[in-house]
Amino acid sequence: MSTTTTEIFERDQADILEQPKKVVPSRWRWNDIIMQVSLISIGLLIAFPVLLAIFTSFKIPTDVINYPPTLLPSEWTMANYIRAWNAKPFGRFFLNSIIQTGVIVVFQVFFSILAAYAFSILRWPGRDLLFYLILGSLMVPFQLTFIPNFVLVSSLPGHCMEWLGLSREVCRQFGTNSYFGLTVPFLASAFGIFLLRQFFLTIPRDLHDSAQIDGASNWRFLWQILVPLSKGSVSAFTIFAFLSAWSQYLWPLVITNEENMRTIQIAIRFFLFEQERGADWGAIMAVAVIALLPTLLIFLVAQRQLVKGIAMTGMKG
């Protein structure tokens, strides 16, 4: 019974997204032309720094310092990537960023799904009040909680040795210069809870009731019925969480002071200021392009799911 209801709900969603569009005349109007030109201009303006970084990373040193500057290199070369990769252990920095981002994304998605289910499907006293308190935390800037988070994380090794009696080496894995310290303040997301709750509210209540009649537990209903129906919104939030975690700068800069724990973004900063004979912009742009590649690939591959997830979030019925 639940499978049939699920198929009907998915078909209804597809019908909503694929509603026939109004037929517009083929004749272009001036306002359409102005709109298209404006959108293209804004798109080029946004994309120009990215294109400049990509083309500069393939330039020879003389092209980089030429005046007037040129967009395209006169001679394409991979020397900047080789020189930058060998100058610092960027492979380790890249791995640190992948581990940090992966842990944050997995925990944020997992906790957001559980919390959104509790705030949308389950009924319990104080549910709405607690949700509004969590929603209100979105208005608290991260800079306000930055110092308390740093003090808490930096004091964890001492409390670990005092309360648990573990060795210093073990407890160091829970403080600064550790993956735990890089990720722990970001393992839950109020935005993710809000986004997924809004979509879960669009699921008919009868679907949950029929699943319970069939003997399905809340855990089974969540992971076998609700999450598959919400894959668009879950995918959209996963992309948002990845972009946010990958682009972090201030927290990794403060919580790490050992080179082997730096993320790729922090490594670019130190690579820029540690050069003795002036900035090697070709190599710097090469590293920036390497750091930019995951976000570009994620967006290009999952663009459709991102738009679909945002479109379906908050849609009633």
* pLDDT at residue 317, as a whole number: 44
* pLDDT at residue 283, as a whole number: 86
Phi, psi torsion values for 195, nearest 5 degrees? -60, -50
The yes-or-no verdict on residue 215 having pLDDT over 70 is yes
The yes-or-no verdict on residue 97 having pLDDT over 90 is yes
Q: What is the pLDDT of residues 271-317, one digit of tens each?
A: 877 666 667 788 888 888 989 888 888 878 877 766 666 666 555 44
The yes-or-no verdict on residue 1 having pLDDT over 50 is no
Q: pTM here? A: 0.82
> Distance of alpha carbon 161 from its chain centroid, rounded?
34
Average pLDDT over residues 152-166: 86
Domains by residue range for the chain, with CATH: 28-77 (no CATH), 89-137+178-312 (1.10.3720.10)
Percent of the chain scoring above 90 in pLDDT: 31
Average pLDDT for the chain: 84
* pLDDT at residue 168, as a whole number: 83
Continuous segment of H or E residues that includes residue 127: helix 127-136
Give residues with Cβ within 8 angstroms of 128, minimum separation 6: none
Largest CA distance in the chain: 78
